[in-house]
Amino acid sequence: MYSPCASFFMVCFHPPLQNKSAPKPCFFDMGIQSAKQRPLLLDQLSSSTFDLLVIGGGATGAGIALDAASRGMSVALLEKMDFAFGTSSRSTKLIHGGLRYLKQFEIKIVHEVGRERAILHRLAPHLVVSEPMLLPFVKGGTFGKFSTSLGLWVYDLLAGVSGKDRRVMLSKKKTLDREPLLREDILLGSGRYAEYRTDDARLTLENVKAAISYGATAANYVEVTGFTYDADHQINGVEAIDHLDGGSLTVKAHQVINAAGPWVDDLRKENQSMNNKHLFLSKGVHIVISHEHFPLHQSVYFDVADGRMIFAIPRGKVTYIGTTDTEYKGDKNNPRTYLEDVTYLLDAVNHQFPTVKLRLDQVESSWAGLRPLIFEQGKSASEISRKDETFRSDSGLISIAGGKLTGYRKMAEKVVNMATKTLASRLGKSWKACQTTQIPLADGVLSSEKDVSAFHKKIADQLESVGLDSYLAWYLVHMYGAQADDILIRFRKADEMTEAGLILAELAFGMEEEMVHTASDFLIRRTGRLYFDIHSVRQHAGSVIAAMARYFDWDEDRIARETQEILREVEEVSTFPSESEIVLT
C-alpha cells in the first residue's frame, strides 16, 4: 500500500522556476509557505509584535489578513486547525447574490453581495465562475411568472448585473430544452439568471497566500487558548498551542481580531465582545451524486414543499444538492450528515426531477457546514438574517460574526477600517485605504474568462497527449488557475505519466507552497477530492500518505494515525446514521 516512489519524489519536490526580477508582491519564492519551514514561521510569530493579529483562518479571517497586510500593517493570522477547516470549506460553494434574501426584503444584503461577486469574479476568474441558473416557476409554487420576472429584474438591478448574465425569462418549452429532467406536468416556465460557482476552501487559501505575499505571517494548527493584557487590561497578545508538535507560544499584537466563525463565542466569553448577543448555529448539508445518476444539464434553484429553496448544481463528474437549514447544538468541529438530512434532499430532488429516481445508495459523498448567525428571538434558522455584525469589547477585542462567503472581502474591509482608527490614535501611524478590490488571487495571470478558456485548452492538450482524462484539466485550471503550470512542471519529470503521478505532483506543490501538513489538508481542503471525487481518495490515499511519510519522515504511529483519519473522513461523508439513533446513544 505504501510504495516509496523515491525516484519520483526526488524530482517532484524540485522547486518551480523563480522570477528573480519580479516586483513585490510576487507569487514566487514563497518559502515560508513550505510545510518544512514551520519552525521559522513559529519563530517569527513568537519574536515579533504585530500591528494586527487575526484569529481564524476561514474566508473572513484570511480576507482581513490580506486587507490589513496590503495596507502596510504587520499581520499575524492563526488558525487552530487547517485553513478553511470549518464553515469556509463546507458552504454551498457559490459566490451568489442571495436571491432568497430579496424574498425576505433584505435589500442591502442583495445589493452588497451582488456587487461583491462581480469583484471576486474579476480578481479570480478561474475560481469564481459564472454559473447560469434556472429558477422554475410551477403550479402551486412560491413564484409565478410575474413575480419571478420582477424579482430577477430587481435582483439584476441591485447586483449591478450586465451583459450575458442578465436575467432571461423562458417558456415551458425553452425551459425543458435547457433542462429536460424537470417535472413537466407542473412546470409553467422559468427565469434564467447568473450565480457564480467557486471552491470556498481554495478561495480562502488564495487569500492566505496573497496576504503572505504582502508580508503577513500565517500559521495553521496554532490554537489560541487565551489572551495577554497590558497594565490597563487591554489585550496585547494571545497565548497559543502548536497542535503539530505540542509546543506553546505567545504572540504579541497591538490589536486582536476574533474572526473564528462558529467559535466566535468561545473566544469572547471573558471579553463580552458581542454586547450580550450570541451566535445561532445553523447546519447546512449537501449531498453528492454521480453525474451518471443525476445528469443535470445546468444548475437549478427550485422550490421544496416546506417553502425553502434548494440548489442542484453539476460540477465536473458529479451533481451536488443542497442545502438544509436546521439549528445545530452539537460538536462544532465535526457536524455530521444524518439520514434525515439526506432523505430530505433526495425527496426534494425526486419531486422536482421525477425521472431520476435517486436512491440513498447513490449518494457518494456529503458535507455538513455551520452558519454562524447572530441569534434573533423567535426566528427559525431559515428566517434569521445573514447580515454580519462587528463588536468591540472593553478590553479591545474586535469580533465579527454572521455574514456570507460572498461578502467576506467587504466584511474584512469593514473590520480593518475599524482597527485602523484605533491603531492610528494609539500608535500614531497611518495606513493606506483598502486595496483588495485590485489584488488578483492566484497570481492574476489569468485576468479574464477568455484567458481561463485559452489556458484550459492548453492544459487539456498537454494532459490528453499523455492519455489523461480531460476532466483533470478542468479540475486543475478551476482549482489552481495559472498555478497548474507549477504542478505540471513537477509532473513532467515523473517516471510515469499517470493520474497517480499527477496527484503526487499536486501533493508536492501543496506541501512546498500551501502548508499541507496532513493527508486531510490535501485530500479535503486543498483539492476537494473527498467531496467531489471520493473514488480517487479511496484509490490514492495510500500513496499520498506514503509520500508524505517520506517527505516529513513520519514514524509508523503517525502513518497509522493519518490512515485512520482518512478512513474516518471517508466513512463519515458517505454513511448516514439516523440523528435519532445518535441522540439515543
- How do residues 200-225 score in pLDDT, each as one tens digit? 999 999 999 999 999 999 999 999 99
Whether residue 430 is predicted with pLDDT greater than 80 in this model: the reply is: yes
Residues 259 and 291 in one domain: no
Contact predicate 201/84, CB 8 Å:
yes
Q: Which amino acid is at 142?
A: T
Which helix (DSSP H) or strand (DSSP E) does residue 164 occupy? none
What mean pLDDT is predicted for residues 115-139?
94
> Domain containing 254 — which CATH number?
3.50.50.60
Domain contains 534: yes
pTM of the predicted model, to two decimals?
Answer: 0.92
428: left (phi over 0), alpha (psi -120 to 50) or beta: left
**339, 374, 409 — which closes off a domain?**
374
What mean pLDDT is predicted for residues 568-584?
88
> Domain containing 303 — which CATH number?
3.30.9.10
Q: Which amino acid is at 243?
A: H
pLDDT at residue number 375: 83
Q: Nearest CA to 409 among 364, 448, 439?
A: 439
Residues 311 and 273 in one domain: no
Query: E-assigned strands of 172-277?
Result: 187-197, 217-219, 222-229, 235-242, 248-258
Cβ contacts of 399-403, under 8 Å, gap ≥ 24? 399/257, 399/258, 399/259, 399/264, 399/267, 399/268, 399/271, 399/273, 399/274, 400/60, 400/257, 400/258, 400/259, 400/264, 401/264, 401/274, 401/279, 401/372, 401/374, 402/372, 402/373, 402/374, 403/60
pLDDT at residue number 140: 85
* From 73-77, 153-157, 169-173, 219-223, the region with the lowest mean pLDDT: 153-157
- Better-scored residue on pLDDT, 144 or 352: 352
In degrees and rounded to multiples of 5, residue 452 shows phi and psi of -60, -45
Residues 288 and 334 in one domain: yes
C-alpha to C-alpha distance for 407 and 259, rounded to whole angstroms: 14
Residues 553 and 493 in one domain: yes
Residues spanned by the domain of 332:
279-374
Exposure string of 461-495, with b = 16+ CB inside 10 Å and e = fewer, is: ebbeeeebeeebbbbbbbbbbbbbbbbbbbbeebe
**326, 348, 374 — which closes off a domain?**
374
**374, 403, 429 — which closes off a domain?**
374
What mean pLDDT is predicted for residues 520-526?
98
Domain contains 246: yes
What mean pLDDT is predicted for residues 177-186?
97
- How do residues 355-373 score in pLDDT, each as one tens digit? 999 999 999 999 999 999 9
Confidence of residue 150 (pLDDT cuts 50, 70, 90): confident
Q: Which residues contact 97 (CB under 8 A, 6 or more apart)?
A: 110, 113, 114, 117, 155, 158, 159, 161, 195, 406
